[in-house]
Amino acid sequence: MIIMLCPNRLILIAVLCLIMNQGICAASSAGPFQGTFKGTAIGDQGSSAPLALILLQNGSIVTGTAIVGDGIEVDTGGFVCPGLVAVPSGTIGVNGIVSGQDPRHLEAKSSLSASGLTITAEVVAVLSADYNTMNVQLKLNIPWPCHGTTIKGTLTRSE
């Protein structure tokens, strides 16, 4: 299958590859997760924030960046832990693998530092049949004695 891209998109992909240090990027091997997806992430107690995923796919390997806006909160527990905590806006690197059985299913991992703790995140993303909508679940694994939580979102392809 040959994918035709307009020159502007090809330049954008090349720039993203250089920024992300991905020497293996190739437009002809782009898969269904390649692109930008935007929507809203839903946290605990009804909190929400804008979420964008900028992804590059080469075969079954997906790399990219998650951009989280202000507004989302997660409940880390009560007695020893701070309880409801605002998630700071920012960017997080994402690395994952597309399922060999289902090309619309992606599992990825990431980690971030907050309040001196390393928090790992397990991401599961599933694309719709037309590849334009992505349902995302982000499980945050917060170190003991606090407890983790799951952030959910529905994103739409924007490019």
> What domains are there in the chain, each with its CATH number?
30-157 (2.40.128.120)
pLDDT recorded at residue 54? 94
Low-confidence ranges of the chain (pLDDT < 50): 1-28
CB atoms within 10 A of CB 145: 10
- The answer for 41, left when phi > 0, alpha when psi is -120 to 50, beta otherwise, is beta
Cα 14–chain centre separation: 20
Which pLDDT score is estimated for 84?
Answer: 79
| pLDDT at residue number 130 | 94
Sign of CA dihedral 10, 19, 41, 126: positive
Say if CB 37 and CB 158 are below 8 A apart: yes
Please tell me the predicted confidence (pLDDT) of residue 115.
Answer: 63
Scanning 20-158, the segments in alpha helix (DSSP H) are: none
User: Tokens 């693998």 — which residue?
Assistant: 97
10 membership: H or E segment, kind and range: helix 7-19
